[in-house]
Chain A
Amino acid sequence: MNRVYQIVLKEWAEVFKNRFVLFTVAFLPILAAALPLGILYAINSSPDFVTDIGEDIPAGFAALCNNLTGEECAQYFLISQFILLFMLLPLAIPITIASYSIIGEKTTRTLEPLLATPITTAELLGGKAAAAVIPGVTATWMAYLALVIGAALMDVGPGVMDRLLDPFWLTAVFVVGPLLALTGVSVAVIVSSRATDPRTAEQTSMLVFLPIMAVFFAQLAGLILIDARLVLLIALGLIAVDAVLLAVAVQLFQRENILTRWK
């Protein structure tokens, strides 16, 4: 356990000295909290804005608004759009950290001396994964907390507050978030074992965000409705995906493979 802890400390000491990483880890959560709050603020100060978008809300979504006022429904709809950003956070942060960390070790050629120590594959992968997942998940939760507190302070109306704290958001942030973080790390590990440039690895790994965007845009187009049940289904699917990805990552992290098969 001490080795995992030491790896996490070492990763953070190293990777946060990189300004790209620091930017992603600091900037994305601020954006995720500030954007919806800014929009809520705009709505609160100009009520006309609400009636305008009221007409654009997909019919399926309006059904979710059963006992909300028209204004609350519009606010809720707008905030719901930002769930996408909250799903980007736990994916992007671990991907960035893991890509820079692993390709960093490749360029400095530190993996070989590290593998000469009596470290196990599980400790090495566990340490790297924890170092990437913890900031991703923490940042997501902090941003969500900031959004909830900010919305409460702004007096958005009890209907919206209830929705921000309903199972849909809670499952998304607290269940899907960590699962996505795990997906991000596993994908980044796999991609980084083949890549030589951290930016490329990061961008390639971010392709896993496409299916999530697809689900989201399907809702905007009124094709599906993202509710708590769908979020839960996504979570179950992610568990299966993560298990497979992790198994591949563990295989790639065998000493022999790292030293002879990685590029």
Chain B
Amino acid sequence: MIRIEGLTKRFDDITAVENLDLEIRPGEVFGFLGPNGAGKTTTLRMLGALIKPTSGTAQVAGYRLGEDDQALRRNVGILTEAPGLYDRLSAARNLSFFAHMYGVDDVDGRVERYLKLLGLWERRSESVGTFSRGMRQKLAIARAMLHEPTVLLLDEPTTGLDPEAARLVREFIEGLRDEGRTIVLNTHNLDEADRLCDRIGVLNTRLLALDTPAALRREVFGRKVVFHLADLRPEFEATVANFPFVDAVESIDAKLVVTLDDPENQNPAIIAALVSAGAQLQFVGEIRQSLEEVYLRLMSKEGAEPERGDAP
């Protein structure tokens, strides 16, 4: 649905995105993670044919960048970084204007449908200047959907929303995925990326990592198993460390935290060894690494490349 080949964007002396190669499948929810200034917004702008790549290209919704950009724009919906609404106009008027710009046939019907879907129908006649941050964001999402695009590019869809509004937006995005739309979203919310995205690309000018959230955790950290013991004696740690497949052992309170690659096959041997050494095992479980730790690890490996300032 989206095929990105060597996409690069330079602004004068700043390289915002460098040599991005990536394929996003139809119906996939793909998330870009990365620090401020990583080039996430720049990438979405290029994919929406808003700015031209310096080099490289991409095919979005069946159209190659630069060949038939108008057709591409008709098939792509963008939620821009700032909601960008006409404050002096009503919610309904904002949407109907954009519906006309997209050449939607049944403007009123479409506006009504999306105002209702996002819970703004009751306030359709109020001017947007009086709306809260969350209501604006919902209206901007409705606008991105008006022409029912097959590909949706969402720049930080839940930033600045309260937990309830953020959840509503997330559920709406899940609904869009279930309809088979392809969604690319930028986010700083790692938890959200974890829950919502089928795959994640960690971007910092270049693409640093690309995989499912679960695989990213595994790749970066290996897997960790925790053994809860009734009493932790120092020799137990040595017992476990003796196994060649164990990467690391730490003792924390009455627990042993063991890093290994294949717990399903390696745990039984460790359990047997601990029991025969006299340990009283209470629980055994796997620690789920948070994506945040994965992310921070990736960024520190990057050599803490300095932030180059926010987009204008």
Contacts and interface: CB of A to CB of B under 8 A. Distances in A.
Interface in B132-186: 140, 143-144
A259 B101 contact: no
Nearest to B78: A116
B98 A117 contact: yes
A136 B60 CA distance: 43
Interface residues of B, number: 35
B74 A6 contact: no
A2 B97 CA distance: 11
Contacts of A111: 84
A14 interface: yes
B88 A17 contact: yes
A6 B97 contact: yes
Contact of B140 (A113, A256, A260): A113
A10 B97 contact: yes
A13 interface: yes
A112 B80 contact: yes
A260 to B, nearest CB: 6
A6 B94 CA distance: 12
A13 B93 contact: yes
B190 interface: no
Contacts of A14: 86, 88-89
Contact of A109 (B71, B84, B101): B84
A115 B74 CA distance: 11
B85 A108 contact: yes
B73 A113 contact: no
A112 B98 CA distance: 12
**Among the interface residues A108, A110, A113, which one has the most CB atoms of the partner chain B within 10 A?**
A113
A109 B100 contact: no
A255 B50 contact: yes
A117 B102 contact: yes
Given A2-B100, A13-B93, A117-B102, A109 B82 contact: yes
A255 B51 contact: yes
A187 to B, nearest CB: 24
A118 interface: yes
Interface in A12-39: 13-14, 17-18
A256 B84 contact: no
B283 interface: no
B272 to A, nearest CB: 61
Nearest to B83: A109
Given A109-B84, A112-B80, A259-B45, A118 B74 contact: yes
A6 to B, nearest CB: 4
**Among the interface residues B83, B84, B101, which one has the most CB atoms of the partner chain A within 10 A?**
B101
A114 interface: yes
A108 B86 contact: yes
Interface in A97-144: 108-120
Contact of A256 (B52, B78, B83): B52
Contact of B73 (A17, A108, A112, A116): A116
B87 interface: yes
A117 to B, nearest CB: 4
B222 interface: no
B50 A108 contact: no
Given A116-B73, A119-B101, A110 B51 contact: no
B84 A110 contact: yes
A111 B45 CA distance: 13
A3 interface: yes
B86 A259 contact: no
Contacts of A260: 11, 51
A118 B85 contact: no
B70 interface: yes
B48 interface: yes
A17 B88 CA distance: 7
A6 B51 contact: no
B80 A116 contact: yes
A259 B9 CA distance: 14
Contacts of B140: 113
Contact of A110 (B48, B52, B78, B86): B86
Contact of B80 (A6, A13, A109, A118): A109
B51 A10 contact: no
Interface of B: 11, 45, 48-52, 70-71, 73-74, 76-78, 80-89, 93, 97-98, 100-103, 140, 143-144, 312
25 contacts: A2-B103, A3-B100, A10-B86, A10-B89, A18-B88, A108-B84, A108-B85, A108-B86, A108-B87, A109-B80, A109-B84, A110-B86, A112-B81, A112-B82, A113-B78, A113-B144, A116-B78, A117-B101, A117-B102, A118-B74, A118-B103, A120-B70, A255-B50, A256-B52, A263-B312
Q: Which 4 A-B residue pairs are closest in the complex by CB-CB distance?
A: A117-B101, A109-B82, A6-B100, A118-B70
Given A118-B102, A120-B70, 15 more contacts: A6-B97, A10-B97, A13-B89, A18-B88, A110-B85, A112-B80, A113-B98, A114-B84, A116-B80, A118-B103, A255-B49, A255-B51, A256-B52, A259-B45, A260-B51
Interface of A: 2-3, 6, 10, 13-14, 17-18, 108-120, 255-256, 259-260, 263
